[in-house]
Amino acid sequence: MSNLKFIYKNNEPLDKLVDYILSFKNLEALLLIGELGAGKTTLTSQIAKKLNEPKTVISPTFNTILVYDKFVHIDAYKLTTNLFAYEDYFEDKLAIIEWAENVTLPKFKHYIKIKVYFDNEQNHVFEVMEEQ
């Protein structure tokens, strides 16, 4: 499979990417890797809107995990081991994990891994690296 890329200008809605992600049935996790400030939390916020989440999505940097109605949002930037302490929250919710490359992940059966970075024109690039 060749990697699928979604490229957006700053502040452009991520509708096609969000629709693509949410088109997967039984999706357990969205694993986000990549550059600081490239759009990981913005993507999570736009997914929340599409899921009709009433709470405002903020970066979980200082909390590590924020729990919403239909998903949990984890910032693994400062974590170095695994997510075992958070796994109870995953049961009926989509796990959206920023900095997923920093931790040992649970054995998700259905997940999407996306690399988020800036291109030479400072566009936000969301590259789908893997789907299960």
Domains of the chain, by residue range, sit at 3-129
Three-state DSSP class for residue 3: coil
Q: How far apart are the first and last CA of the chain?
A: 12
Q: What is the pLDDT of residue 31?
A: 93
Distance CA(42)–CA(36), nearest Å, equals 12
pLDDT value at residue 61: 67
Class of the domain covering 3-129: alpha beta
Judged by average pLDDT, the poorest of 10-19, 20-29, 56-65, 70-79 is: 56-65
Strands 4-8, 124-131: pairing is antiparallel
pLDDT in tens, 39-61: 888 999 999 999 999 888 877 66
> How confident is the model at residue 117, as a pLDDT?
93
Global pTM value: 0.89
Q: Any bridge partners for residue 29, and if so which? A: 95, 111
Where does the pLDDT of residue 75 fall: very low under 50, low under 70, confident under 90, or very high at 90 and above? confident
Euclidean distance between CA atoms 100 and 113, whole angstroms = 9
Q: What is the C-alpha separation between 127 and 19, in angstroms, rounded?
A: 15
Side chain identity, residue 26:
N
The whole-number pLDDT of residue 114 equals 94
